[in-house]
Amino acid sequence: MITGKHLISGEWLAGERTFRSEPYRGIGREYAQGTAADVDQAVRQAVVAFDSFSRTSRRRRSDFLNSIATKIEHNRARIIEICIEETGLIESRVSGEFTRTVNQLRYFASYIADNANDDNRHDTALPDRTPLPRPDLRMIQRPVGPVAVFGASNFPLAFSTAGGDTAAALAAGCPVVVKGHSAHPGTAELVAQCIEAAIVETSLHAGVFSQIQSSSFDAGQALVTHPEIKAVGFTGSLGGGRYLYDLCAARPEPIPFYGELGSINPVFMLEQALAANASGLAKEWVASLTFGAGQLCTNPGLLVLPQSDATESFISSARDEISQAGEQVLLTESIAESYRQGYQQLDSCADAVVVQRAHCGRRSVTPAIFRTTAKAWQQNEFFSEEVFGPLGQIVVADTTEDILTLARSLQGQLTCSIHCQEQDSGIAKQLLAIVEHKAGRVIFNGFPTGVEVSDAMVHGGPYPASTNFGATSVGSLSLRRFLRPVCFQNVPDAFLDSIDS
């Protein structure tokens, strides 16, 4: 049953004020509107929980994550039902995200159980070293403290209540306070109920997890400025993320803000690759561009092509393919409005030629493609801004140097992709040398949609793709965001047993 309440340290609490959800289907429900007092109560309980949770064994935290996964699996039908109702996402998309959410919880559970000394270091004592002896030094990664996590509009499961940031923080030994996203509060509550049940089953302190519902910035602002919050995980817009990032930096004690803020994910298709398979690549690009109504942070919104006969064939095939895509539902009315504004700005630009025109409704849109030149793209700053949704820009470059110059002008990206064949290797190598400094993930002969949860994955990139390009929000390395190295000098083993297990 959905109560519309906050979960604060094991208690379901109503609020004096409420907001009404706006589901794609069905009737909206009333949810408690989070306040600074709610946030303070949740964070203070997280501080109490941190004392014990930070010293739990890796095995116990692993059991906790596995228990969350099991509880979520047991409620699969209801969670998917409400998620579809709220977001308008198709069942296959939600089902796939549900499976990913469960799998990444189990992935972190397995990782911490099997890597007991991950990146811990030990320099043994050298008492006889001259001219000075060396003490015994142990560097151990320790949890930072209570972590704030913001639910993402476009990933109601995998990047929200029990998503990657929450799973990584809990795996690291940090209590979590989630600010649920107002686009899918019912989904958030159902998942929070599963986490609560797992806390009870594993006999952990109830303050290990809390969730505050909110449709305004007030709760989020109170959360990131609370003096006991030690790190923030965020997936969302550049504007909202930058606002919260600045709040974190302006605190008396600045804290890290791990924000993933969006990307246009450039795809470079080189001449021989196009000549070999123009129509096939067009079909694959359109499928990637329109997947999930283009509401993915890895959506390939920018395509750079050389001027050639194969390029014209590609564009013709892409237009034919995307014209069959039909109407797609966006997550919220505000996202649809942003898509409409981005589309209209491009449509009114003399340097942008419409390849496929869009229809923009209240919450449903059709995909669009625009075409421009490399020189025009660099002269119009708004071309480089993300239009969240199924909109693609094709840039046709006259020369190899135009392609390389455009690559050099790119801002930070989550991904950059290069399609090439052996005959393209000269320019491909030059491009690789440029884009490795522009993105967190470089892809050859593929498209960026789909992010593997694994040890080697990097989901982040130079600003504005993310606010900390040395971090990733996906994969085992994401745990490091919520750990800090502590050096223990000449500390007896008996004292370390409880924190290095």
Closest CA to 208 of 151, 146, 162, 165: 146
Tell me how far apart the alpha carbons of residues 229 and 152 are, in angstroms, rounded to a whole number.
Answer: 19
Contact 274, 310 (CB under 8 A): yes
Helical H segments across 173-237, by residue range: 185-201, 217-225
Tell me how far apart the alpha carbons of residues 176 and 67 are, in angstroms, rounded to a whole number.
Answer: 16
What is the SS3 assignment for 269?
strand
Contact 390, 328 (CB under 8 A): yes
Tell me how far apart the alpha carbons of residues 169 and 484 are, in angstroms, rounded to a whole number.
Answer: 12
Tell me how far apart the alpha carbons of residues 192 and 180 are, in angstroms, rounded to a whole number.
Answer: 10
Contact 184, 160 (CB under 8 A): yes
* Angle in degrees, 0-180, between the axes of helices 185-201 and 76-87, rounded to the nearest 10: 160
Catalytic site positions? 260, 297
Count the neighbouring beta carbons within 10 Å of the beta carbon of residue 48. Answer: 16
What is the SS3 assignment for 336?
helix
CB half-sphere exposure, 219, CA atoms < 13 A: 29
Which residues sit opposite 84 in a β-bridge? none
- CA quadruple 176, 181, 182, 188: dihedral, nearest 10: -60
Tell me how far apart the alpha carbons of residues 113 and 251 are, in angstroms, rounded to a whole number.
Answer: 35
Tell me how far apart the alpha carbons of residues 110 and 203 are, in angstroms, rounded to a whole number.
Answer: 20
Query: Would you say how long the chain is, in residues?
Result: 501
CA 41 vs. chain centroid, Å, equals: 27
Query: How open is the CA angle 317-323-327, to the nearest 5 degrees?
Result: 145
* Amino acid identity at 286: V
Tell me how far apart the alpha carbons of residues 201 and 484 are, in angstroms, rounded to a whole number.
Answer: 29
* Angle in degrees, 0-180, between the axes of helices 58-74 and 164-172, rounded to the nearest 10: 150
